Structure 1
Amino acid sequence: MRTFLLNVFNGRVVSPWWILLIDMGICINAYIIAFVLRINVQLSYYSVSDMVLGATVVQVVYLASFLLFGSYRGVIRHSNYNEFRQLTIACFTAFLVLILCHAALQYVGYQWFNTPRLVLVFHFLLTAMLSFLFRMLVKETYSSLTKKNTSTNVFIYGAGEMGQITLEAIRSDKENQYNVVGIIDDNLNKWNMVLHSVPVMNWEKALKVGKAKRVEVVILAINHISVQRKHEITDACLDKGWKLKVMPSVGNWVNGISNQKQIRDIRIEDILGREEIRLNQLQIMDALAGKVVAVSGAAGSIGSEIVRQLLRFPVRKIVMVDIAESALYDLQQELLLSHSDAPFSAILADVTNEQRMREVFEQHRPQIVFNAAAYKHVPLLEEFPYEAIRVNIGGVKTLADLAIEYQVDKFVMVSTDKAVNPTNVMGASKRICEIYIQALSQLKNTKTEFVTTRFGNVLGSNGSVVPLFKKQIERGGPITVTHKEITRYFMTIPEACQLVLEAGFMGRGGEIFVFDMGDPVKIDDLAKEMIRLSGLKLGEDITIAYTGLRPGEKLYEELLASKENTMPTHHEKIMIAKVREYKYASIKNKMDELLLALKMENNEHLVSRMKDLVPEYKSQNSLFCQLDKKLVH
């Protein structure tokens, strides 16, 4: 029987015309009931012919209204608020037509349609209510037939709009694995309410109910919540042994659709992030409107997010340049699915190839350039400084020189906190790029405004510590931490890219913008928190192994050199670093010599040249420490 009913529902044996027929059956029965109610109230007598005539008129008008509004065309097992509203509108329209016709006929003295107005009122109410109940019966029957027996009892945290959307998304999914037994909310005015037959309660009551109902999961469904409060909720759930999941905000719904499949596990980024950044949307919009924007390193973590952020603004075209073929293809396919009408071009090219880059500038004529192309892994670049010089320094020089030649309006370079008092090849290469970009801004008769943005580690970026820890946890450990006291500044990818946009159009040329990275985080604490979020216990399920500092690695990162200071801007999270300025002619000659030396000198000589360009560059835990000793002597 259950299988037969499921086949009926899923195969849609009940066609829209059958639904219309059932609605009309409800309509005629509602008329008879309304007449009986009217007779009992008024003790009046009406002939059968009057009743039949009245019923015929009412049926015809309601039929016309149902056909007009299409209230019978919905799939009943998936009925929602919009369909119920459409049904009510159709019934009310028919009722209104009948009342007006009745009044008009009475006014001109015709008596052939003399159905009492009270009968029409009763009939409208009964038709709307019974049709609604019919749909609810079908919906609930289907829900019961498709509901899994092995469902997990859950709480939804948040009784607001997002919480109710989450509840509806769970209930409407036939593959649903959750059974919502309660809603938790911090607002005492909502306690003891019932939303869609689910009780709303405070945390203390939830603890008791959760134990009795054997709750396993809490779904956080709040649009606007502070990071601190999110952290508190996470700790409280983990202490109770409840797994915490998150319903994404409306802006992050996949394809603009809410469903229970989008409910995901809480991530470390959710509780290490900070409050939402408020951008100067008008300033950025004015700067980007109708412009061709080029993004180098577009397929990387930062570059791809910059592209996504740019798509929110009225740009004329986005030129995405990257040498990573697979990653660029993935980004292209993502944009074709989510922004099929977006004006973008994906270009597979190497930023160090001057001829190829010249072709790109010649063909697309970018007016704004965001340079996010760089090698970034400290240990690898410590082993292969040739590539750090060729790509990081050579790529920036190629793009920046072409920006001047093709009169680009704005050139924004993405830098790193490792450029401050560098202890490794990677940081030194980025500091040399900063110096060159700042020196270019001193040239007279240059249209291009050169701006540098500097920030720390980005949570979840390719090759960062978070994805590494996730893989190690999935394998059962151990998690590898280089030093128990090592700390880093962290920022989420969207936050970093939003600040890049803000700073990029705030600058007028020559500035190095430093982002407020908040408080530094101990990597050891980060690892322990990720273990907790995974539902594991440190020392029992997984361990942490301390491997020692890698070549060129610092214990503590800096955002500013000790001799630098900053100036505030209108954005509280962005400051301008005051750094030593270099003469363009001098830095250009040294960079040309460095790039030319790539063809003939070994790693030691190349790094020695980098140290000459950046006197504060002191190697740490590296083979190149011996060069610092030679410089001292």
Structure 2
Amino acid sequence: MLPYVLVRFRRPLIVGLHLLLIPLAYRFAFGLRFDLHVPDAVEPIFWATLPYLVGARLASFLAFGLFQGWWRHVGMRDLIDLVRAVTTSSALLLGLLFLTDQLAGFPRSVLVLDWVLALLVFGGVRFLVRAVRERHFIPWRAQRGKRTLIVGAGNAAERLLRHFHRDESDQIYPVGLVDDDPGKMRMRMHGVPVIGTTAEIPQLIRDRGIERVVIAIPSATRDEMRRIVQPCMDADVDFQIVPSMRELLDGRARLGELRPVQIEDLLGRDTVALELDGVREDLEGRVVLVTGGAGSIGSELARQVAAMEPRRLVVLDQAESPLYFAMLELVRAHPRMDIVPVVADITNEGRMESVFAEHRPDCVFHAAAYKHVPLMEDNAVEAVRNNTLGTLCVAQMAARFGAAKFVLISTDKAVHPSSVMGATKRVAEQVVLGWPSLRRAGTDFRAVRFGNVLGSDGSVLPLFRRLMDAGQPLTVTHPDVTRYFMTIPEAVQLVLQASAIPEAAGRICMLDMGEPVRIVELAENLIRLSGLEPYRDVPIVFTGLRPGEKLHEELMSEHEATIPTALAKIRIVQSNEPAPDTLMPGLDRLGAAVEVGSAEDCLLGICALVPECVAPLRERGLEAAAAAR
């Protein structure tokens, strides 16, 4: 009953408390001024000026909203408002004394003393309520909770400790913090000391009886994460991580909430410093078309483009169900934006013409593609139809209907392609950069090339997770196979930046993919992060390279060179595209092969256009040529 009354009549109670404290602080100021013995001659001054002070204080506190805040959550902003309100009310009192001719006999130092005491009293009451609420008078959960070591002594750790102070449901006992900044050694944060560096984590786990490690460095690099996580796995200690700011903003996590360390964290990379002004200038208030908008890359492109506030966002895909769910997410996040879902096949020229005629996009992000390497080896006709001829169709419509910019999403598999998929994407690059009618158009055509993205549909991580959930061994093609990896949001951020830099017009941009990762190490770390032991609890089986796969991917060939751009993560690829008299007949040949459904002719066509292709694609092309003779 009492808590209900306190909440129901909270504001009148707060006002009443202030009515009590204002005279007490004012009286104490007089007492300090006269050594606790206020002379009889001064006593009338106190009573005559008290109503002015009470009125000035109440008016100022009301104006600055001090009767509305939750004292249990009082912070620096509330303290600033309190200083402003007390200063304003003291100034008002001084003005009233002047206007009423009472300033002459008034002891001036009382104004200063009252100002200081008011801050101490009203600020102290507020922080006392918060301290009681957060149980600061009780030793740090000394009798319960896991002994926890917090890695990082920055803002994330401060927010985390503050949350643990308030929330009794978190069974945690912070033993200490570790940080590599020498200036933080032996300092305390919310009463928790900094007791070492990250290099000392193994020893601290042993000596301090640590049962849990919390990583409060959401922007940690891959090497930092591995250095922190490895001793935890070796000591069989629980470890968790504070969500990143992006996860908090996206609603995927709550403030103070911890989550398990994921394999993506161990593959994380340095934070990208985004230059969004140019991107926003390109997209804000424009019509933007994203093809393949229901896929992993396309849907993230749509999300990030929507944040740039285009006038209309057209999301096109032939997969109806994924497009439907992508649209639900976009509409929920941007209810006032004109978002248009389009179900269409990019190879359908008539349908593409109607889409471009209706919406006339200013910018086209072409992410639609078939990308599964082994699957496209057995479906070469469809790979050529979609990846190559479909790209030509969309690019021609972009030029015909006056799009300002066309960005092709390409792949590292287009470099020395060993697969049908990689070769068709290389030909797609040649099309957008070398097709005669496109080069004469006013559209800015460019391509962006990057490697694997973590968590995309059909990529290795979801496959590994499905196998583990099913209790099956993890399958890796070869012990030495490596791949470049990048998170989907980072890849799309860089694609958007590459779309905006002027020097990339008419060229291929290559994203900095960092160092390649051994797939077998990826599998081993995923198993360990699940609390299991590789090869003992979960077998890893080597199956051999699949059709069209390479042992190591490349980002450029020996026939290409790169030049830097203003952005450290993006380079320009200087490549020699085929002459129009080679490209146009080659595309005609591919179109004829697709028309009759001839996989052999498709192989011959793409190998002719991509002479730098390598085994096994080159062997397949030679076999097709021999069969044709």
TM-score calculated relative to the size of structure 2: 0.85
Q: Which amino acid aligns with 1:189?
A: G
Give unpaired runs (5+ residues) of structure 1: none
In structure 2, the partner of 1:188 is 182
1:499 has 2:531 as partner: no
Residues matched between the structures, number = 624
Q: Structure 1 residue 162: deviation in Å?
A: 3.2
After TM superposition, give the deviation of residue 118 of structure 1 in Å. 6.9
CA distance change for structure 1 residues 632 and 515 in 2, over 3 Å: closer, same or farther? farther
- Does residue 470 (structure 1) correspond to residue 459 (structure 2)? The answer is no
Specify which of 423, 426, 431 is matched with residue 436 of structure 1. Answer: 431
Which amino acid is the alignment partner of residue 129 of structure 2? R
Partner of 1:270: 265
1:12-31 matched pairs, under 5 angstroms: 12-31=7-26
Q: Give SS of 2:479's match.
A: coil
1:348 and 1:435 mapped to 2: Cα distance?
A: 27
Partner of 1:304: 299
Which residue in 1 is equivalent to 2:75? 80
> Is 1:559 aligned to residue 555 of structure 2?
yes
Q: Pick closer, same or farther for the CA change 1:629–1:257 going to 2, 3 Å.
A: closer
> Which string of whole-angstrom CA distances, capped at 9 and with x for unpartnered residues, describes residues 77-127 of structure 1?
33333334434443443344335545665666577x999557635642453
Q: 1:567 to 1:230 in 2, by over 3 A?
A: same
Query: What is the match of residue 569 of structure 1?
Result: 564
Partner of 2:148: helix, strand, or coil? strand
Pick aligned residue for 2:155 from 157, 161, 164: 161
**Structure 1 counterpart of 2:317:** 322
* Matching of residues 543-622 of structure 1 within 5 Å: 543-562=539-558, 564-570=559-565, 571-584=567-580, 586-617=582-613, 620=616
Matches of residues 116-265 of structure 1 in structure 2 within 5 Å? Answer: 116-117=110-111, 120-121=114-115, 123-140=117-134, 151-173=145-167, 175-203=169-197, 214-222=209-217, 225-254=220-249, 259-260=254-255, 262-265=257-260
Asked if structure 1 preserves the Cα contact closer than 8 Å seen for 2:504 and 2:572, the reply is no
After superposition, residues 275-294 of structure 1 pair within 5 angstroms as 275-278=270-273, 281-288=276-283, 290-294=285-289
C-alpha distance 26-478 of structure 1, shift in aligned 2 (>3 A): farther
Q: Match of 2:440, as an amino acid?
A: N
State the partner residue of 1:370: 365
The residue identity in structure 2 corresponding to 1:540 is: R
Relative to structure 1, is the Cα distance of residues 138 and 277 closer, same or farther in structure 2, using a 3 angstrom cutoff? closer
Cα distance in 2, alignment partners of residues 91 and 139 from structure 1: 25
Greater displacement, 317-326 / 362-371 = 317-326
Identity %: 34
1:389 to partner: Cα distance: 2.5
Alignment of 1:57-72 (within 5 A): 57-72=52-67
Q: Measured at CA, do residues 259 and 216 of structure 1 come closer, stay the same or move farther in structure 2, by a change above 3 Å? A: farther
Distance 1:354 1:69 in 2: 64
Could you give the per-residue CA deviations for residues 154-191 of structure 1, whole angstroms, max 9, x where no partner exists? 33322223332333344445654544443322112122
Aligned residue among 340, 351, 360 for 1:356 = 351
Q: Distance in 1 between matches of 2:316 and 2:605?
A: 30
Given candidates 372, 379, 384, the residue that maps to 1:384 is 379
Work out which of the residue numbers 514, 520, 523 in structure 1 matches 2:519: 523
Shift of 1:414: 1.5
Whether the aligned pair in 1 keeps the contact of 2:417 and 2:613 (CA below 8 Å) is yes
Q: Map Cα deviations across residues 351-404 of structure 1 (whole Å, 9 max, x no partner).
A: 122222111111111122111101111122223333312322232121012122
Contact 2:432/2:438, CA 8 A, preserved across alignment? no
| Cα pair 1:370 1:412 within 8 Å, conserved | yes
Aligned mates of 1:102, 1:240 — CA distance in 2: 71
Q: Does structure 1 residue 97 correspond to structure 2 residue 92?
A: yes
TM-score normalised by length of structure 1 = 0.85
SS of corresponding position for 2:89: helix
CA contact (8 A) 1:436 1:584 kept: no
More displaced 10-residue stretch of structure 1: 487-496 or 119-128: 119-128
Query: Is 1:541 matched with 2:532?
Result: no
Residues 216-237 of structure 1, C-alpha deviation per residue, up to 9 Å, x if partnerless?
A: 3333334765443333223344
Counterpart check, 1:393 vs 2:380: no
CA distance in 2, matches of 1:289, 1:255: 21
Displacement, 1:484? 1.0
Provide the C-alpha distance between the structure 1 equivalents of 2:208 and 2:13, rounded to a whole number of angstroms. 42
Q: Which amino acid aligns with 1:276?
A: T
3-state DSSP of counterpart to 2:596? coil
| Aligned twin of 2:508 | 512
CA RMSD of aligned residues (A): 3.9
Equivalent position of 1:449 in the other structure: 444
Distance 1:458 1:585 in 2: 36
Q: Give the distance between the partners of 1:143 and 1:440, measured in 2 at CA.
A: 74
Q: Distance in 2 between matches of 1:458 and 1:22?
A: 59
Q: How far did 1:215 drift?
A: 3.6
Q: Following the alignment from structure 1 to structure 2, what is the Cα–Cα distance between the partners of residues 594 and 152?
A: 65
Classify 1:533/1:59 alpha carbon distance in 2 versus 1 (closer, same or farther; 3 Å): same
CA shift for structure 1 position 46: 6.8
Residue by residue over 1:196-253, the C-alpha shift from the partner in whole angstroms, topping out at 9 and shown as x without a partner, is 2222232377667655765433333347654433332233443444444333444553
Supply the distance in 2 between the matched residues of 1:368 and 1:577 (Cα, whole angstroms). 22
Distance verdict in 2 for CA 1:261–1:373, change over 3 Å: farther
Do the aligned partners of 1:26 and 1:130 also contact (CA within 8 Å) in 2?
no
CA change 1:207–1:33 in 2 (3 A) is: farther
Q: How many Å separate the matches in 2 of 1:121 and 1:108?
A: 17
Letter of the structure 2 residue corresponding to residue 199 of structure 1: P
**What SS class does the counterpart of residue 253 from structure 1 fall into?**
helix
Shift of 1:297: 0.9
Cα 1:448–1:117 shift into 2, 3 Å: closer
